[in-house]
């Protein structure tokens, strides 16, 4: 399969890179409970991975740039919800 090359813009500048196909992924939920009683469930979803040409971390590993999104669900207590018994707009 031919390489898909692209420019990647990072805070340090613009770099050349090559997309690397994702072979397998495990996306796990992170559960967060807030002081107001709201429960959040969050998980990342990686869409693309690009290896940056000629850039390495302190241990010699190649640098990668990710395109990702996050999925979040919210379970708020009734008193914070809009409508029946919750927050009302005037």
State pLDDT tens for residues 6-57: 999 988 899 999 999 999 999 999 999 999 999 999 999 999 999 999 999 9
**Domain annotation covers residue 33:** yes
The model's pTM: 0.72
Q: Domain limits at 61? A: 5-79
Q: Residue 64: pLDDT above 70?
A: yes
Instruction: Look at the chain and report how many structural domains it folds into.
Output: 1
**Domain annotation covers residue 65:** yes
**Domain annotation covers residue 37:** yes
**Domain annotation covers residue 49:** yes
**Domain annotation covers residue 87:** no
**Domain annotation covers residue 88:** no
**Domain annotation covers residue 14:** yes
Q: How far apart are CA 88 and CA 80, in angstroms?
A: 9
Contact 37, 80 (CB under 8 A): yes
**Domain annotation covers residue 68:** yes
Work out the pLDDT band at 86, boundaries 50, 70, 90.
Answer: low
């Amino acid at each position: 399969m031919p390489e898909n090359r692209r420019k990647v813009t990072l805070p340090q500048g613009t770099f050349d890179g090559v997309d690397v196909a994702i072979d397998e992924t495990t996306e796990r939920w992170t559960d967060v409970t807030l002081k107001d009683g709201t429960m959040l469930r969050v998980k990342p979803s990686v869409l693309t991975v690009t290896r940056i040409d000629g850039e390495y971390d302190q241990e010699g590993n190649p640098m990668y740039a990710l395109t990702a999104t996050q999925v979040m669900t919210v379970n708020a207590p009734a008193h914070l919800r809009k409508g029946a018994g919750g927050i009302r707009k005037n």
